[in-house]
Amino acid sequence: MQVSPTKSDELQMLLNLKASLNNSKTNVFSSWTRENSVCSFTGIICNANGLVKEINLSQQQLQGVLPFDSICALQSLEKISLGSNSLHGSITEDLKNCRSLQVLDLGGNLFSGQVPDLSSLRELRILNLNGSGFSGSFPWYSLENLTNLEFLSLGDNPFDATSSFPAEVLKLNKLYWLYLTNCSIKGQIPEGISNLTLLQNLELSDNLLSGEIPAGIGKLSKLWQLEIYNNSLSGKLPVGFSNLTNLVNFDASHNKLEGELGELKSLKQLSSLQLFENQFSGEIPEEFGELKYLTELSLYTNKFTGSLPQKLGSWSDFIYIDVSENFLTGPTPPDMCKNGKMTDLLILQNKFTGQIPDSYANCKSLIRLRVNNNSLSGTVPAGIWGLPNLIIIDLSMNLFEGPMTPDIGNAKSMGLLILANNQFSGELPAAISHASSLVSVQLSSNQFLGGIPESIGELKKLNSLYLNRNLFSGTIPESLGSCVSLTDINLSGNSFSGEIPESLGSLFTLNSLNLSNNKLSGQIPVSLSSLRLSNLDLSNNQLTGPIPQSLSLEVFRKGFDGNPGLCSNNFRNIRPCSATSSNSSHLRVLLSCLAAGLLVLVISAVWLLFTKQRLKNLDHPLKQGSWDMKSFRVLSFSERDITDAIKSENLIGKGGSGNVYKVVLGNGNELAVKHIWTSNTSTDRKSLRSSSAMLTKRDFRSTEFDAEVATLSAVRHVNVVKLYCSITSEDSNLLVYEYLPNGSLWDQLHSCKEIKMGWELRYAIAVGAARGLEYLHHGFDRPVIHRDVKSSNILLDEEWKPRIADFGLAKIVQAGGGDWSHIIAGTHGYMAPEFGENKDIVYWVCSKMTSKENALDLADSNISENLREDAIKVLKIAMHCTAKIPALRPSMRMVVQMLEEAEPHKLTDVVVVKKEGRRSLVLRVRNLGYKSESQLFELMEPGKAISSELNRNLYEPIEPYSTGFFKVSDLHTIYYEQSGNPSGHPVVFLHGGPGGGTTPSNRRFFDPEFYRIILFDQRGAGKSTPHACLVENTSWDLIADIEKLREHLEIPEWQVFGGSWGSTLALAYSQAHPDKVTGMVLRGIFLLRKKEIDWFYEGGAAAIYPDAWEPFRDLIPENERGCFIDAYSKRLNSDDMETQAFARIENHYFVNKGFFPSDSFLLDNVHKIRHINTTIVQGRYDVCCPMMSAWDLHKAWPEADFKVVADAGHSANEPGIAAELVAANEKLKNIIKNGS
């Protein structure tokens, strides 16, 4: 018989837990001492017997291995919440002893190994292991015993692939939340999914699913979110899909689905629809234009025809549309920015016609406008040029005409201005110089005329300037040399005259200069000699004089053609310069050679001295000191094993970020140890060549290194090199990786040894490397940017499988550098394709791919001829990856798919994909042990004392004649009470908060002889259970509860009374069920719009109640004060149960924007309730729910009676407010009496 632990035993068990975990960032364990009761420990909740019931330590930056032998000895433990930390190690079999566990949240950690058998956790309701690094086979069979599961989240773990969809999941008929994204699930979605009738959220994305979407999915009528993107699903949307009438977010992008969208046209609640990268066809239903909540529509890369619904955006706060790469025709819908919320209008590569509607000239929210590759025409509305938030405008390859207006000067955010291949005309406005964020200006192939404005030099961020093939004239302004970021200039095919400005020689970043086919004269400026140009074309001008010696390169020879006045002694086809010039030139060459020779002698002497000193220092031992070893996997070595092996004889490689050593352990295992360069300058690097010097001359402890290691340690993928641990001291940084015996891909491709790498092996390596990069970009919780992908960073194991190495290290090395480290990163000498034109290997390969024969010449001769065409298919994919415009490059997710389709003899074509689709983000809030934000609400709420005057306004206190508990879902039970006249007119009181609960004084606003008064506590509040629960707790759940309670009490219709949050809920309920409401009284209007939340949590409160605001503010670190509501959502917990419910639930609703589909949802639906007799009561000095909200509601609903109490604030207990509320109820009472 098992003996129950005593309180003393539980104290020791928790102290064991504390000893196993490392926490240096917060004071979470400061109360965990022997002197304190365990029930007072931060994050610990006890039951009525004083035994530990809950452990809540999420988001506390904890590190270490969990001692489940101690944790699961707590026999009353019902909840373990340790998500979003940095816990590592494996989950031991001791977990099976937590038999009372109802909630297990270990998501967002760095665990390794398999998930153990969970069969004994029969009470489990919530299981969250999302994104925790687990691998191997998940014990799906365990789920058969977990019949109480309501919330199952296993996504984003590299589990072994299943052979089919886990049948055990289909038996969990209490599930309302199922998140299995990125779990390596194969097979078809089974028809049995229809058994999960309570599902509200179903996410199966990023798996290996195939086949058709089952018809049974149409039976999941409660679904509000369905995400199945990035699979291989095929076929049409099933008949019956239209039954998902509660669906808000639907994402089936990046599959092979086909057919038309008729099944979606009746889904009235749709807010986000993502179907891009499929094979859908037919017309986009006109009914989409009537969807009142649709804000995001992404249908790009399909086969849609016909026109867009012209009413799109007429009813909803439209935000985003991308229907690019289809066959759509007709005009652009005019109202998509009607409500001023639209950020992205992307309709490129279609067949749209007509003009851009004038309405978009006022769309100040617009960020991206891309309509290129259509047949649009007419002039561009003037206001569009100056939209303040526009970052990219791409109108290229259309039939637009007319001028660019001076409004362009107002486009302060614009980075890309792309107008190429149109019929634009007029002069380039001088105001363009005020568009200070411009990076690229592409105006080629238009009819612009006049000169380049002198003020263009003010564009300090300008990177590329393409004005070629226009009608420009005049001189090139000297001020162009002030555009210090320019890398590409193309002014060819115009009528520029005069001399080439000397100032262009100061553009040290310039790579390409094309001034051909103009009327330029004079000599080529000598200042151009200082530039490191890859492309220079000055052909077909009127230039004269000698070509500067440093520009007399064969690669530039054709760039001087068509200038009869030029001379050179280096080119045969150009006349030689005079003898004097020649002799002078020879003299300069001779002097240069002598100077160079002398410099070589000096350098050689210095190098000899340096080398002697280096050899003396090479074998110096490591500096002894205190080492900090952080392990990320199970280790079989010590830090001493590593540091003792850092010797010159073990050096196996040198890279841009440090040296690499091979370490052979006593058991024969091999490791690779990398020391990270810590110096900020090349001079320092050169002075720290020896291994010992590098390890002992660190100037500072890099916080960037710590942050990067935290990222690297969490990476788990078969194609990414394993990081075992980091070892640091005050002056050294070491990373310990697995050792891969076959070296790098570079070694194998370029080795002098006879190593035959056939195409099959090369292809497999390419696919593996791409999968690794896909994981870093998309499979991790945030993108890990490699910044130095090259063959020497692709390592090969004993089976020739690739591993990506050095990911993230370029970022470490360049941390603290200038902005250019974010633009041109990685190996020195590399230039991304977007920073130059026609000057690199990408351009050379493109020039070779003009025919099949030329393309085949590019293939390595070691690849057999019958496979060379397959190699070219992969090369085409590489060309897409290096597209000139970054937005046209495919994501790594697409690259992997393209490579898989390019398996020898399978690829038929390659589709260019321009960007990633947008995802709908669901924010999940966890609780931490800090004071709640409701403390601010209490401090700010005025007038809590009830005066004798107020007593005269309210009715006398009464007691309920009936109380009860009503089960509204499998999880939630709500408390309700009835008072007053059992046969009277029913009125329901909706309390505030959210999460506030009811009090006896709430009954006193109503005449007890006339009204049947119903009060109830909303989910998680007051006496309702489970207390403070956020699960299944949304506005729509509360609205459903109100309706269920009305039916339960057999009330045909009732009056509704709500204040503060209660007014929000009253509006939402009455709009959903207007036929059930006889009248309303609303107090302290709160419409749950962003500006109201910002007022309360940000500016308004700080200005009016600084004494209350500052304690609220000071609980949050400065780096988190950008959004207090998000900061407090991480910290909400309290020992006081009422405060806990109020604070947690209130924040839960606010951080999720009330779960309403749009910011102005309640105002937009006022038309549904105009007929209801309503009184609005508002205190003019209400700080919590400011007057602006009530005023906006009054303007939208003038039929309602609007009462402003001049000397009142927020509280319903203030005399003036209470009097108006009682009077409003009396008014409705009289209407009912007279009507009867």
Which residue numbers are catalytic?
788
Residue with tokens 């019949």: 147
> Which letter does DSSP use for residue 1127 in this model?
H
Contact 468, 489 (CB under 8 A): no
> Which letter does DSSP use for residue 584 in this model?
H
d(CA 733, CA 628): 10
Contact 172, 199 (CB under 8 A): no
d(CA 1187, CA 832): 54
Distances (CA, A) of 496 to 49, 249, 505, 518, 721: 90, 55, 18, 5, 55
d(CA 773, CA 776): 5
Spacing of C-alpha 754 from chain mean position: 47
674 annotated binding-site participant: yes
Contact 233, 209 (CB under 8 A): yes
Q: Counting every residue, how long is the chain?
A: 1236
Three-state secondary-structure class, residue 456 = helix
- Taking the CA atoms of residue 615, residue 617, residue 622 and residue 623 in that order, the dihedral angle to the nearest 10 degrees is -170
Tokens at 292, concatenated: 């009142």
d(CA 1082, CA 1190): 10
**Which of 281, 326, 329, 287 lies closest to 309 in space, CA to CA?**
287
Residue with tokens 């999960």: 196
The dihedral sign for the CA sequence 633, 638, 640, 646: negative
**Which of 1067, 1090, 1210, 1102 lies closest to 1150 in space, CA to CA?**
1090
Please name the residue ranges forming H helices in 447-578.
none
Contacts 24+ apart (CB under 8 A), 349-353: 349/324, 349/325, 349/373, 349/374, 350/323, 350/324, 350/325, 350/326, 350/374, 351/327, 351/375, 352/328, 352/376, 353/329, 353/377
Contact 209, 189 (CB under 8 A): yes
Residues paired with residue 629 on neighbouring β-strands, in sequence order: 727
Tokens at 83, concatenated: 């998500």
In terms of Cβ atoms closer than 10 Å to its own Cβ (0-12, 13-18, 19+), residue 282 is middle
d(CA 298, CA 25): 42
Three-state secondary-structure class, residue 335 = coil
Cis-peptide, bond into residue 741, ω within 30° of zero: no
In terms of Cβ atoms closer than 10 Å to its own Cβ (0-12, 13-18, 19+), residue 106 is buried
Q: In sequence order, what E strands does 973-1065 have?
A: 973-980, 985-990, 1011-1016, 1054-1059
d(CA 897, CA 903): 10
- If you write DSSP's letter for every residue of 809-848 in order, what string do you get? HHHHHHTT--THHHHS-SSTT---GGG-SS-SHHHHHHHH
Tokens at 179, concatenated: 């998140």
Residues paired with residue 723 on neighbouring β-strands, in sequence order: 737
d(CA 332, CA 348): 12
d(CA 291, CA 647): 69
- If you write DSSP's letter for every residue of 195-210 in order, what string do you get? G-TT-SEEE--SSEEE
d(CA 11, CA 465): 70
Annotated binding residues: 674
Q: Which residues are annotated as a binding site for ATP?
A: 674
